[in-house]
Structure 1
Amino acid sequence: MRVLKRMAAIGLACVLPQLAQSEPQCRQALALGLDISGSVDSHEYRLQLDGLAAALQSPVVMERLLASSETIIELSIFEWSGPGNQRMLRDWTALTSETVISDIANGLRQTTRVPADPSTGLGRAMLFGAELLSQRPDCWSHSLDLSGDGQSNSGTRPQDVHQDPRLRNIVINALVVGASVPGKDLISYFEAYVLHGFGSFTMQADSFDEFEAAMIKKILRETQGVMVSEATPALHHADQ
């Protein structure tokens, strides 16, 4: 009997490392922040949430998000306006199947707007996203995707938070909504004050009607990294 127990223990000791190695690793933590400041009316609010939902369920996006079952992407979504207004729409979720992604999309379609500070606190939105990403330290890369249709006008200025240690190793990209007009070049503003980290970029939609198409392009660009090999985790930690 003792021999059998010992053999079972040895067998379990051999199997456990293999089970541990089979656990999927997080290749990217992606936080999406949606602008719901006063410049976004109720119709545009709906276009934004429904556009993101449709983008997530786009076949090409689904294929990219689910490209590897061994190295997954984790997603969270929040909306923001003034410095004291950030609301989680979806907490961190591992994107492991089409069913999971569809559940996120359906949740967005069922979300209704709640009253919020109408001002635009971009600096605080950047820090909120960074704090959110800090909850996923084991992910190999960390990206914050902020949509916006105007310049910051309340709270900490975005240009004043770039040296904040919470933004270390985080890439901040932007989806700018609204055509640039004389005296209001939103692309230049976001590029100068909001973008952060190596490879950061802006995507533009002339209006919220184009939000879905722009979000599809943006997610594809943000997640276009080469599928990693088994050696990548070791290289990743060695670089830190």
Structure 2
Amino acid sequence: MTGPGRARRPCPTREDQGPPGRPHVTDRGHAPQARRRRGRVGWACAALLVLVQLSLPAPLHAQAEKPCRLALVLALDVSGSVDAREYRQQLDGTARALLDPEVQAAFFALPGAYVELAAFQWAARDQQHLLLDWTPVTSSAVLRDMAARLAEAAAPFDDPQTAIGAAMLFGEAKLRERAGCWAQTMDISGDGPSNHGPFPDEVLRDLPPNVTVNALVIGPGSRDNITKNLANAGTLLDYYEARVLRGAGAFAVTARTFDDYADALKAKLLRELRPLAVASAPPGGRAPTGRLEPQ
């Protein structure tokens, strides 16, 4: 029985054991009984430590030991040109792509390293809203949770202006938070050219050399003009390829309408998550870009 002011210590310490080679003598002087009692308590403590370690979630151990191979941030256009139905198609389409078995397999294609994923919505220059903060994708359950949160998201803006450059700056700031990943990729989805804030090609000049910018262009055949002057107007896809894409192997995926958004995003994710594409990409610089049409 412990006396007043003395707390019971369930596990013996080195001090409790006494100097090496000498038995610890209890108050009553029964050294053999004390040794047996201490031995039983020591085994109990060791078993308790093992149980605690085994009860920790496996992904925590795996994450601590494995490197991040890719930091991927999705930037979704929710400016005024996107109506309520199209907004829902975009968010639900993103959730659907994350739940696709092929996409999930691509996330886990390199068991020795994981992917970190984040997503935000953007509209005018000062309008960016984080949907999903950085999360290590260590299991299918993580992707299911992300999809559920996207399905519950609501449109935060109704501004008609489109600020691609400002969205890129926001995405670059998020990628700086994961500078230790082997590669950093930003995905810009949009259905119109930038007409507010810094121009995207101006932002590209100041991005770190290891940041890749890919795009999902909705309505790629529409015009890229922001005025009524159509003299030099090109297509929206031309605009994104010239002013938004950046980095080694950067590419654009197209969706004819928001009805095709989920399939287009799936095609883009499958290409971005390929381990060979990440491992073989040289750092920095503008590289030849490609177009990818979803099947």
TM-score normalised by length of structure 1: 0.84
Residue 12 of structure 1 corresponds to which residue in structure 2? Answer: none
1:173-188 → structure 2 map (5 Å cutoff): 173-181=214-222, 183-188=233-238
What is the deviation of 1:113? 1.3
Q: Secondary structure at the match of 1:106?
A: helix
| Partner SS for 1:161 | helix
Instruction: Report how far residue 226 of structure 1 moved.
Output: 2.5
Match of 1:77 in 2: 119
Q: Deviations 1:89-127 (Å, cap 9, x if unpaired)?
A: 000000000000000001000111123432100111111
Structure 1: tracts of 5 or more residues without a match: 5-18
- Secondary structure class of the residue paired with 2:124: coil
Identify the match of residue 264 of structure 2 among 214, 217, 224: 214
Alignment of 1:33-52 (within 5 A): 33-52=75-94
Q: Structure 2 vs 1, CA of residues 171 and 227 (structure 1 numbering), >3 Å: closer, same or farther?
A: closer
Give the total of aligned pairs: 216
The one-letter code of the counterpart of 2:117 is L
SS in 2 for 1:204: strand
Q: Distance in 2 between matches of 1:51 and 1:140?
A: 28
Q: Secondary structure at the residue paired with 1:226?
A: helix
Counterpart code for 2:137: L
Q: Write the mapping of 1:84-95 to structure 2, written as runs, cut at 5 A.
A: 84-95=126-137
Q: Distance in 1 between matches of 2:221 and 2:68?
A: 37
* Partners of 1:22 and 1:70 within 8 A in 2: no
CA distances 1:122-180 after superposition (whole Å, capped 9, x unpaired) = 1111111111100001100000001000000000011111211x433100000000140
Structure 1 residues 170-224: Cα deviation after superposition (integer angstroms, max 9, x where no partner): 0000000014046450110000000011110000000000000000000011111
Residues 83, 154 of structure 1: 8 Å contact kept: yes
Distance 1:83 1:50 in 2: 25
Q: How does 1:59-78 map to 2 (within 5 A)?
A: 59-78=101-120
Instruction: Give 1:202's aligned amino acid.
Output: A
Larger Rg: 2
Corresponding residue number in structure 2 for 1:58: 100
Which residues of 2 match residues 8-19 of structure 1 at below 5 A? none
Query: What does residue 16 of structure 1 align with?
Result: none
Distance in 1 between the 2:177 and 2:250 partners? 21
User: Aligned AA for 2:258?
Assistant: F
Deviation at 1:70, TM superposition (A): 2.5
> CA separation of 1:178/1:201 partners in 2, compared to 1, >3 Å: closer, same or farther?
same
Say yes or no: does 1:117 pair with 2:159.
Answer: yes
8 Å contact kept, 2:70–2:278 = no
Q: In structure 2, what is the equivalent of residue 168 of structure 1? A: 209
Specify the alignment match of 1:149 in structure 2.
191
Is structure 2 residue 246 aligned with structure 1 residue 199? no
Residue 78 of structure 1 aligns with an amino acid whose one-letter code is F
Higher relative contact order (CA 8 A, sep 6+): 1
